[in-house]
Amino acid sequence: MEQTLVLIKPDGAKRKLTGLVIDRLDGAGLRLVAAKVVSVSEELARRHYRMLKDKPFFENLIQYIRGKFHEIPDSQILALVYEGEGAIARVRQAAGATNPEEAAPGTIRGSFGRVTTKGQFENVVHASGNAEDAEFEVKLWFTPAEVLHPIYPVTRGNGTKAEAAAWS
């Protein structure tokens, strides 16, 4: 059994795709075990995308996930945790490839993503990439009390000190 993090990115929220994304993931037979509206701080955004800090698109990515390109008030975003056998790969499959131009037709990104004229990938959803990222990200965005039967070991905290304490 796996749990994986999904974020409806600001382009998805702005373009009223929230219901559609949830519907697609329902259709994939996954169970929703946590959901929360989060105000994405600079710190949270940087921590979430820590592995990409040396990429040329990193600063734009931080602005994008904080809703700065889509006039999202309070940088609000919907964060979700889905659970199921093979949930990480199944959500990735439903999401499609990172580059919307390469994402298969019928996937969320293939159907609704776009590449802006400035080269930013606006790809509607975030989905954890692998087991290690899924654990880190679920712990970063949620406390154990916010997840129905949290599955990740509670002794290894990630995120901020407070978040680590919540999982310890």
Q: Is 157 in the site for Mg ion (CB under 5 A)?
A: no
Q: Is 61 in the site for ligand IDP (CB under 6 A)?
A: yes
Q: Is 126 in the site for ligand IDP (CB under 6 A)?
A: yes
CA proximity to 105, closest of 129, 20, 113, 16: 113
Provide, rounded to whole angstroms, the least separation between the CB of residue 161 and ligand IDP: 25
> Per-residue DSSP letters for 39-50?
E--HHHHHHHTG
Q: Is 129 in the site for Mg ion (CB under 5 A)?
A: yes
Stretch that binds Mg ion, among 56-64, 126-134, 142-150, 157-165 (CB under 5 A): 126-134
Per-residue b/e over 69-93, b at no fewer than 16 CB within 10 Å? bbebeebebbbbbbbbeebbebbbe
Q: Is 144 in the site for Mg ion (CB under 5 A)?
A: no
Q: Is 129 in the site for ligand IDP (CB under 6 A)?
A: yes
- Could you tell me which residues come within 8 angstroms of residue 40 by beta carbon, excluding any fewer than 6 positions away? 65, 66, 67, 75, 76, 77
Q: Is 98 in the site for ligand IDP (CB under 6 A)?
A: yes
Closer residue to Mg ion (CB): 58 or 166: 58
126 is catalytic: yes
The answer to whether 115 and 4 are in contact (CB under 8 A) is no
The answer to whether 38 and 76 are in contact (CB under 8 A) is yes
Helix (H, G, I), strand (E, B) or coil at 21: helix
Closer residue to ligand IDP (CB): 55 or 153: 55
Q: Is 57 in the site for ligand IDP (CB under 6 A)?
A: yes
* Chain residues in the site for Mg ion (CB under 5 A): 129
Provide the binding-site residues for ligand IDP, judged by CB under 6 A. 52, 57, 61, 98, 119-121, 123, 126, 129
For the annotated catalytic residues, the residue numbers are 126
